[in-house]
Structure 1
Amino acid sequence: MRFRDGQRLQLEHPARGGRAPLSLRLSVNRRARRISVRIDARTGEAVVVAPTERGLEQAVAFAGSRSLWIAERLNARAPGVAMTPGATLTVLGEPTRLEATGGAGAARFARDGSQLLIRAGGEGEAFTRRVLNLLRAEARCHLSARTAVHLQTLGLAPVTLSIGDPKSRWGSCTPRRRSIRYSWRIVMAPPAVLDYLAAHEVAHLVRADHSPAFWAVVFDLVGDPTPHRRWLRDHGATLHAVG
């Protein structure tokens, strides 16, 4: 059987006994150095990655050998949070309730006592789109500010900054183009974690690797990065499950 990029398959559940099969998506990433499997928190499926389409056959076999690990991770994954009225997510680590206002007004922040709110007009996809637009704008605002601070600290010139929604990375830096791309989802993390991410990507303008010299630059900018890295490892799936 010839496999292709983007194809979806069903893996037999390792527990069997009438258990639903595991959903597996095939992905080709030319930059990948080896075959790997990850869990997509948003779609609730496993993704097996191969460097080439020819390597997908081996990748499927590898995923099959990891079916128990896949089943455990899927079972433990964070429940999804839809951007619908009444839902609660976090903004800079603060619980934030979504409320519909009626009409077609843009999303905006508000407070009800100590409760932070996002109020937006519309229904269904229109409501979700307005909330997402606000969160992306908030992410750009805070990331631009912290990126500028770290650039100034290192005596570096401004960069081109963009906001996206990558499925696994929180940020990426292309030193030769002097560009940094961030995931908007980091705006849901505590401010210190967002600041760490900005420092991490700016540090790549100095060192493009993850050598001790690179981590020394990060340490000079934000101190010990270990707690922030641990927070992303422990809570990242929850952020990816929103939307």
Structure 2
Amino acid sequence: MTVKDPPVEVRRSTKRRRTVSADLRDGVVIVSIPAHFTAAQEADWVQRMVTKLLSKHQPLTPTQGGAAPANPGDELLQRAGALSEAYLAGRGQPVSIGWVTNQNSRWASATPARKTIRLSHKLQGMPGWVVDYVILHEMAHLIEPSHNRVFWRLLEAYPRTETAKAFLDGVSFAANHGMAGR
């Protein structure tokens, strides 16, 4: 681990026999291990799980030049804040937003109770206006969890909503029909 990595909390469980898990909660990596693990096993598994977990939260490559922010999530938070101000009257701002590699069947997800947003790494490299739509879509979920009339009204202010939805539908169609990369 480096100085930039989040703190780690190890939780030993007598109910666990073989499984190890890691989760990022409020900026702390929680590693759950079986209570019978030795100190060496603990150290080995903590390193493996922290590395695996942090690799899922890939930093955003700067799109407009200049130095990368000190915290990789800062750029996404700033982007979300600007979108919130421009299209949602300052509402729906997440407390954390980041790239993940484990979103294979959706473009992003939000957890309204925690005010967090996870973006699929598959969005990286797509046009900025498409990524902006996905961020806005997830921020709208922080305000209204359902895809109801209230939810869709929140997105009406963004001028490229329908175009972005069509773009993502086209990408999904191509990928599902073996046309990706042609």
Shift of 1:233: 1.0
Task: Give the conservation status (yes or no) of the 8 Å contact 2:59–2:98.
Answer: no
Distance 1:187 1:144, change over 3 A: farther
One-letter identity of the residue aligned with 1:137: L
1:92-134 residue CA offsets vs partner (Å, 9 max, x unmatched) = xxxxxxxxxxxxxxxxxxxxxxxxxxxxxxxxxxxxxxxx99x
Question: How far, CA to CA, are the matches of 1:238 and 1:136 in structure 2?
Answer: 27
Pick aligned residue for 1:160 from 96, 108, 116: 96
Task: Give the conservation status (yes or no) of the 8 Å contact 1:151–1:158.
Answer: no
Task: Give the conservation status (yes or no) of the 8 Å contact 1:188–1:239.
Answer: no
Q: RMSD across aligned C-alpha pairs, in angstroms?
A: 3.0
Q: Which runs of 5+ in 2 are unaligned?
A: 1-54, 63-72
Pick aligned residue for 1:149 from 82, 101, 107: 82
Aligned position for 1:173: 110
Aligned position for 1:223: 159
Shift of 1:152: 3.4
Q: Which runs of 5+ in 1 are unaligned?
A: 1-131
Distance 1:186 1:141, change over 3 A: farther
Aligned position for 1:198: 135
1:59-96 residue CA offsets vs partner (Å, 9 max, x unmatched) = xxxxxxxxxxxxxxxxxxxxxxxxxxxxxxxxxxxxxx
Question: How far, CA to CA, are the matches of 2:94 and 2:159 in structure 1?
Answer: 22
TM-score by length of 2: 0.50
Question: How far, CA to CA, are the matches of 1:142 and 1:233 in structure 2?
Answer: 26
Higher gyration radius (CA): 1
Distance 1:142 1:231, change over 3 A: farther
Aligned position for 2:60: 137
Shift of 1:163: 1.6
Question: How far, CA to CA, are the matches of 2:75 and 2:166 in structure 1?
Answer: 21
One-letter identity of the residue aligned with 1:195: D
| Bigger fraction of residues in strand | 1
Question: How far, CA to CA, are the matches of 2:98 and 2:162 in structure 1?
Answer: 26
Calculate percent identity across the aligned residue pairs. Answer: 27
Counting only pairs closer than 5 Å after superposition, residues 1-243 of structure 1 correspond to structure 2 as 136-138=59-61, 143-153=76-86, 154-156=89-91, 157-165=93-101, 166-220=103-157, 222-236=158-172
Task: State the 4+ residue runs in structure 1 displaced beyond 2 angstroms.
Answer: 139-146, 150-158, 236-242
Task: Give the conservation status (yes or no) of the 8 Å contact 2:60–2:76.
Answer: no
Task: Give the conservation status (yes or no) of the 8 Å contact 1:219–1:225.
Answer: yes
One-letter identity of the residue aligned with 1:169: R
3-state SS of the aligned residue for 1:176? coil
Structure of greater relative contact order (alpha carbons < 8 Å, 6+ residues apart)? 1
